[in-house]
């Protein structure tokens, strides 16, 4: 829908039913009432919804929309939508455009085709979508999109938005309790803010179309390393190629029209890899906008003859793609609580939040790991370019020194300020951590935390649900203890010292890729280490984690169990598709190509032999290739056998283990043989585009 002639200020949000648009389109009283609803100060009533629906429809129809769609995020992770037209026949052969308050508030898509992980057996099959007035409606492809939550008849969440909203409420509530203790009576809510940096690859559509692996799995299942990789480090922040530049420009315009504040764009470390980062906003909006961003990225790429790959590891041996989830807490009056202050009082409050986060991450590192666990992200975590699978916190040297000093000077009592907790002699807090440790999974970057383990294709709701909830829990424990204290200052000091001592083990400023770190983290510090998704996901159901989510009303026990099942099922399905594609490509494309080349070699060999010319080259090459081809053929049989074995396992925990330990492992060894063959077979025989073609031809 973007109009290329629009200038930036008119373009931004031009397809969004934003607050500014509402202000002009809604009667004053309705606007006021709706704002109250958006800020959580009032319940939505049908009369208000009627007026809003009608205004929304008029605005949408004016912009060319013919349909409306309840837009939601089922547990597949991607978005779903059900379209209905505004058309309403009036009986005389004509029709009017109608949209009622009821239609705005509630939809009833068929829930049975979405994963529910056993929820459906327990509850009703019907699913409902409910308007989320905190996320603006927008226009895309001639339809009015209404962001909604998706849940079952009995109220179980069937989506990613519902628990995210619940977790935002939980962390808001506990944050306000802490702020009250610091004498702040003005703030009534806190908002979890998120800015998600999205990494991606662009490949040429013509090359893409020749690779079944890219088409079916989003990543290459075969491919020998290119002669030139990223070793020259000439791509990171390098000049953007013209074709890519045009794409980025077009992408930005599409995103801006939809109110997505895309801000930064640059090349990433790997060839053909890029990044797009928006300005942060509330976690809910950020999640909706990131889903939209991913969708638009793919769509616009096609218009430019390219394909946008969002997979975490499209190319083996080349940097993978992540999605840095920048997270912080902001008060409803706009104060970032992770901004170190200038005064000791501000610093004490900042430290309280900082230490609560340290405690939260240490106690629930397993949940953070679970929230980013997918088959795709397994290639990143633990690979040598992404954060390791072990969750630790990077604070930077200065902040770590401060933390250390607080613990060591336990008896320093301030004489200067009521709230000073022994930090008056400490150096000024670093405003910006210049040391950018790229190996840390969870890094403090000046005024926010950056969770780097998130995979590029993931729905950011999952990690943010966990972050919000675990921080809510730590703040809850702090508040409960401090509310009872007779002397707040000394109680706070004692609490912070005790908490830091207990959870310091999760702070690590060193190199996360170092093997020594794995040893130290697991053997000395006792941090959990789950190398694969299959190791991590079952811990979602650990007793302590169920207790946490139930307590903060983010998930019920049934919801957790169903989500665990869905996550494991998803893992199995992905490996299964990859394995089947591997078999298909190896047997129908690679082996025939290899045999074709062998034939040429043998024909040359025979011709040379009869001419009395030496034929050592042909003979040696044909023999080596022949041995490898036989190995490859055996591996195909082996892989087929383990696929059948995995299909036969009904228990999802057991099945996922089999997919990981046997199916995936066999795929890898099969690939190694095929990749070796690729280096020996003449280029013109190779059946699909190589890494060189894919990485350097955009
Ligand atoms: P980097 O060097 O990692 O790219 P940037 O300063 O460019 O760091 O910020 C990265 C992301 O962090 C951006 O999306 C930005 O909007 C987001 N961000 C900045 N401040 C906050 C905050 N208070 N809460 C959440 N995200 C934030
Ligand atoms: Mg970053």
pLDDT by residue (tens digit) across 163-212? 999 999 999 999 999 999 999 999 999 999 999 999 999 999 999 999 99
Q: How far is the CA of 503 from the centre of ligand 2 (A)?
A: 25
Q: 52 near 104, Cβ under 8 Å?
A: yes
- pLDDT for 424 equals 46
Where is pLDDT greater, at 360 or 120?
A: 360
Cβ of 193 below 6 Å from ligand 1: yes
**Which CATH fold topology does 8-159 show?**
Ubiquitin-like (UB roll) (3.10.20)
pLDDT of 470 above 90: yes
- Which residue minimizes the CA distance to atom 11 of ligand 1? 195
| Ligand 1, atom 1: closest residue by C-alpha | 197
Nearest ligand (C-alpha, residue 277): 1
Q: Write down the pLDDT at residue 1.
A: 47
Q: Is the pLDDT of residue 411 over 70?
A: no
> Atom 13, ligand 1: which residue's CA is nearest?
195
Nearest-angstrom CA–CA distance, 202 and 272: 6
- Looking at ligand 1, which atom is closest to the CA of residue 338? 23
Indicate if ligand 1 lies below 6 Å from the C-beta of 328. Answer: yes
Ligand 1 probe mutation, 197, 330, 443, most atoms within 8 A of CB: 197
Is residue 278 lining ligand 1, measured as CB closer than 6 Å?
A: yes
Averaged confidence pLDDT in the chain:
90
CA distance readout (Å), 593 to 625, 639, 683: 12, 20, 10
Question: For 94-108, 318-332, 477-491, which range has the lowest pLDDT when averaged over its residues?
Answer: 94-108
Q: Which ligand is nearest to the CA of 280?
A: 1
In angstroms, what CA-CA distances link 417 with 179, 421, 490? 18, 9, 12
Among 481, 513, 511, 475, which residue's Cα sits nearest to residue 495?
A: 481
How many C-beta atoms lie closer than 10 Å to residue 209's C-beta? 13
Residue nearest atom 8 in ligand 1 by C-alpha distance: 445
Phi-psi region of 217 (alpha: psi -120 to 50; beta: other; left: phi over 0): alpha
pLDDT tens for 503-545 read 999 999 988 888 889 899 999 999 999 999 999 999 999 999 9
Residue 327 Cβ contacting ligand 1 at under 6 Å: yes
Please give the pLDDT value at position 5. 63
Q: Ligand 1: distance of its center to the CA of 392 in Å?
A: 20
Q: Assign domain 570-696 one CATH number from 1.10.10.10, 1.20.1300.10, 1.20.120.1560, 2.60.40.10.
A: 1.20.120.1560
Torsion, Cα of 31, 35, 41, 47 (10° steps)? 40
Choose the most confident range, by mean pLDDT, from 104-118, 259-273, 607-621: 607-621
* Ligand 1 pocket residue status of 448, Cβ below 6 Å: yes
More confident residue, 348 or 639: 639
Cα gap 444→340, rounded to integer Å: 11
CA 475 to centroid of ligand 1, rounded, Å: 23
122-164 residue pLDDT tens = 455 678 899 999 999 999 999 999 999 998 888 889 999 999 9
**Is 336 touching ligand 1 by the criterion CB < 6 Å?**
yes
Mean pLDDT of 207-224: 98
Average pLDDT over residues 376-397: 86
Per-residue confidence band for 409, with pLDDT thresholds at 50, 70 and 90:
low
pLDDT at 299 over 50: yes
- For the Cβ of 275 lying below 6 angstroms from any atom of ligand 1, the answer is no
For ligand 1, atom 6, the nearest C-alpha belongs to: 445
Q: Which of 279, 280, 439 to mutate to test the pocket of ligand 1 (most atoms within 8 A of CB)?
A: 280
Q: Ligand 1 centroid to 328 CA: how many Å?
A: 9
Question: How far, in Å, CA of 679 to CA of 152, rounded?
Answer: 54
Instruction: Output the CA 324–ligand 2 centroid distance in Å.
Output: 6
Ramachandran area for residue 159 (φ above 0: left; ψ -120 to 50: alpha; else beta) = beta
- Check residue 425 and give its pLDDT: 45
Best residue for ligand 1 mutational test, from 394, 448, 450 (most atoms within 8 Å of Cβ): 448
Query: In which band, very low, low, confident or very high, does the pLDDT at 311 lie, cut at 50, 70 and 90?
Result: very high
Buried b (16+ CB within 10 A) or exposed e, 517-539: bbebbeeebebbbbebbbbbbbb
- 447 CA closest ligand 1 atom index: 23
pLDDT of residue 428: 53
Q: Does ligand 1 lie within 6 Å of residue 197's CB atom?
A: yes
Residue 485: CB atoms within 10 A of its CB come to: 14
Length of the chain: 698
Does residue 613 surpass a pLDDT of 70?
Answer: yes
Nearest atom, ligand 1, residue 327 CA: 25
Choosing from 237, 265, 269, 326 the residue with most ligand 1 atoms within 8 A of its CB, the one to mutate for a pocket test is: 326
Q: Which residues contact 346 (CB under 8 A, 6 or more apart)?
A: 340
What 3-state class would DSSP assign to 196? strand
Q: Which residue has the higher pLDDT, 109 or 617?
A: 617
Return contacts of 125-128, CB within 8 angstroms, 24+ apart. 126/152, 126/153, 127/151, 127/152, 127/153, 127/158, 128/152, 128/153
Q: What's the 215 CA to ligand 2 centre distance in angstroms? A: 29
In ligand 1, which atom is closest to the CA atom of 339? 23
> Which among 617, 449, 470, 553 has a CA at the least distance from the CA of 163?
553
Does residue 208 line the site of ligand 1, with CB under 6 A? no
* 326 Cα–ligand 1 center, Å: 6
447 CB under 6 A from ligand 1?
yes
Least confident stretch, 15-29, 281-295, 428-442: 428-442
Q: Are 692 and 633 in contact (CB under 8 A)?
A: no
Question: At 397, is the pLDDT very low, low, confident or very high (cuts 50, 70, 90)?
Answer: confident
Q: How far is the CA of 136 from the centre of ligand 1 (A)?
A: 22
198 lines ligand 1 (CB under 6 A): no
Backbone angles phi, psi at 443, to 5 degrees: -115, 140
For the segment 272-279, the average pLDDT, to the nearest whole number, is: 92
The reported pLDDT for the residue numbered 433 is 47
Q: Which ligand 1 atom is nearest residue 336's CA?
A: 23
Whole-angstrom distance, CA of residue 691 vs CA of residue 670: 18
State in Å: Cα 280 to ligand 1 middle.
Answer: 6
CA of 689 to the centre of ligand 1 (A): 37
- Who contacts 537 (Cβ-Cβ below 8 Å, separation ≥6)? 370, 373, 564, 567, 568, 571, 656
CA 91 to ligand 2 centroid distance, Å? 58
**Of 171, 175, 195, 464, best ligand 1 pocket probe by most atoms within 8 Å of the beta carbon:** 195
Most confident range, picked from 8-12, 73-77, 688-692: 688-692
Strand partners, 191: 330
CB distance 282 to ligand 1 below 6 Å: no
Cβ(171)–Cβ(472) under 8 Å?
Answer: yes
Q: Is 279 in the pocket of ligand 1 (CB under 6 A)?
A: yes
Question: Residue 491 is encoded by which pair of tokens?
Answer: 């109680």
> Is there an atom of ligand 1 within 6 Å of 277 CB?
yes
Which atom belonging to ligand 1 lies closest to the Cα atom of 324? 3
Tell me where in the chain the CATH 3.10.20.70 domain(s) lie.
Answer: 8-159
Q: How far does the centroid of ligand 1 lie from the alpha carbon of residue 262, in Å?
A: 12
Give distance in angstroms: CA of 445 to centre of ligand 2. 9
Tell how far the Cα of 486 is from the centroid of ligand 1, in angstroms: 39
Q: Which of 84-88, 193-197, 420-424, 488-492 has the highest mean pLDDT?
A: 193-197
Helices (H) and strands (E) in the chain, counts: 25, 18
Q: Which residue has the higher pLDDT, 423 or 226?
A: 226
Instruction: Match 């953007």 to its residue by tokens.
Output: 240
Q: Where in the chain is the domain with CATH 1.20.120.1560?
A: 570-696
188 alpha carbon to ligand 1 midpoint, in Å? 25
How does residue 376 score in pLDDT terms, banded at 50, 70 and 90? very high
| pLDDT tens by residue, 105-128 | 999 877 677 777 766 554 556 788
């Amino acid at each position: 829908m973007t109009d290329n002639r629009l200038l930036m200020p008119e373009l931004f949000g031009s397809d969004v039913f934003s607050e500014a648009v509402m202000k002009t389109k809604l009667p004053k009283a309705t606007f006021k009432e709706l704002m109250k609803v958006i800020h959580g100060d009032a319940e939505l009533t049908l009369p208000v919804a009627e007026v809003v629906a009608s205004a929304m429809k008029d605005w949408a129809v004016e912009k060319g929309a013919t349909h409306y769609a309840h837009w939601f995020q089922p547990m597949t992770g991607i978005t779903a939508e059900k379209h209905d037209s505004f058309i309403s026949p009036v009986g005389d052969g004509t029709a009017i455009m109608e949209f009622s308050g009821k239609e705005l508030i509630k939809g009833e898509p068929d829930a049975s085709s979405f994963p529910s992980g056993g929820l459906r057996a327990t509850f009703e099959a019907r699913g409902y979508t409910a308007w989320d007035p905190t996320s603006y409606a927008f226009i895309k492809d001639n339809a009015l999109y209404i962001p909604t939550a998706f849940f079952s008849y009995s109220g179980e969440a069937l989506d990613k938005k519902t628990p995210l909203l619940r977790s935002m409420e939980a962390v808001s509530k506990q944050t306000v309790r802490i702020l009250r203790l610091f004498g702040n009576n003005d703030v009534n809510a806190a908002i979890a803010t998120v800015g998600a940096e999205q990494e991606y690859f662009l490949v040429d559509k013509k090359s893409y179309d020749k690779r079944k692996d890219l088409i079916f799995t989003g990543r290459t299942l075969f491919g020998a390393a290119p002669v030139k990789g990223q070793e020259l480090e000439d791509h990171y922040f390098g000049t953007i190629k013209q074709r890519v530049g045009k794409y980025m420009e077009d992408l930005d315009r599409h995103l801006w029209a939809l109110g997505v504040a895309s801000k930064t764009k640059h090349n990433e470390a790997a060839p053909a890899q890029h990044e797009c980062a928006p300005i942060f906003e509330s976690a809910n909006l950020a999640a909706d906008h990131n889903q939209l961003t991913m969708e638009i990225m793919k769509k616009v790429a096609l218009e430019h003859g390219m394909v946008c790959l969002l997979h975490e590891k499209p190319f083996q041996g080349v940097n993978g793609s992540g999605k840095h989830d920048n997270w912080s807490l902001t008060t409803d009056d706009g104060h970032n609580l992770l901004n170190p202050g200038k005064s000791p009082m501000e610093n004490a409050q900042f430290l309280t939040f900082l230490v609560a986060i340290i405690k939260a991450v240490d106690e629930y590192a397993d949940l953070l790991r679970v929230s980013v666990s997918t088959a795709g992200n397994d290639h990143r975590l633990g690979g040598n370019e992404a954060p390791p699978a072990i969750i630790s916190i990077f604070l930077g040297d200065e902040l770590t020194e401060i933390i250390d000093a607080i613990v060591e000077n336990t008896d320093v009592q301030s004489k200067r300020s009521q709230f000073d907790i022994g930090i008056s002699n400490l150096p000024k807090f670093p405003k910006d951590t210049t040391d950018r440790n790229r190996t840390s999974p969870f890094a403090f970057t000046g005024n926010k935390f950056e969770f780097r383990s998130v995979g590029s294709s993931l729905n950011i709701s999952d990690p943010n649900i966990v972050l919000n909830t675990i921080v809510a829990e730590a703040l809850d424990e702090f508040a409960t203890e401090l509310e009872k204290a007779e002397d707040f200052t000394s109680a706070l000091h004692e609490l912070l010292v005790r908490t830091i001592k207990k959870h310091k083990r999760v702070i690590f400023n060193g190199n996360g890729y170092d093997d020594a770190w794995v040893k130290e983290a697991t053997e000395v510090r006792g941090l959990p280490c789950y190398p694969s998704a299959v190791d991590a996901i079952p811990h979602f159901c650990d007793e302590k984690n169920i207790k946490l989510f139930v307590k903060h009303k983010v998930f019920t026990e049934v919801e957790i169990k169903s989500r665990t099942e869905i996550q494991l099922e998803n893992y199995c399905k992905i490996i299964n598709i990859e394995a089947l594609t591997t078999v298909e490509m190896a047997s129908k494309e690679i082996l025939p190509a290899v045999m074709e080349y062998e034939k040429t070699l043998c024909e040359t060999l025979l011709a040379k032999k009869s001419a009395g010319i030496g034929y050592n080259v042909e003979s040696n090459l044909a023999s080596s290739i022949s041995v490898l081809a036989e190995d490859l053929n055996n591996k195909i049989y082996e892989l087929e056998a383990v696929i059948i074995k995995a299909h036969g396992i009904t228990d999802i925990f057991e099945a996922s283990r089999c997919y990981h330990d046997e199916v995936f492992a066999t795929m890898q060894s099969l690939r190694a043989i095929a990749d070796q063959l690729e280096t020996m077979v003449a280029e013109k025989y190779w059946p699909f585009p190589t890494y060189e073609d894919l990485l350097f031809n955009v």
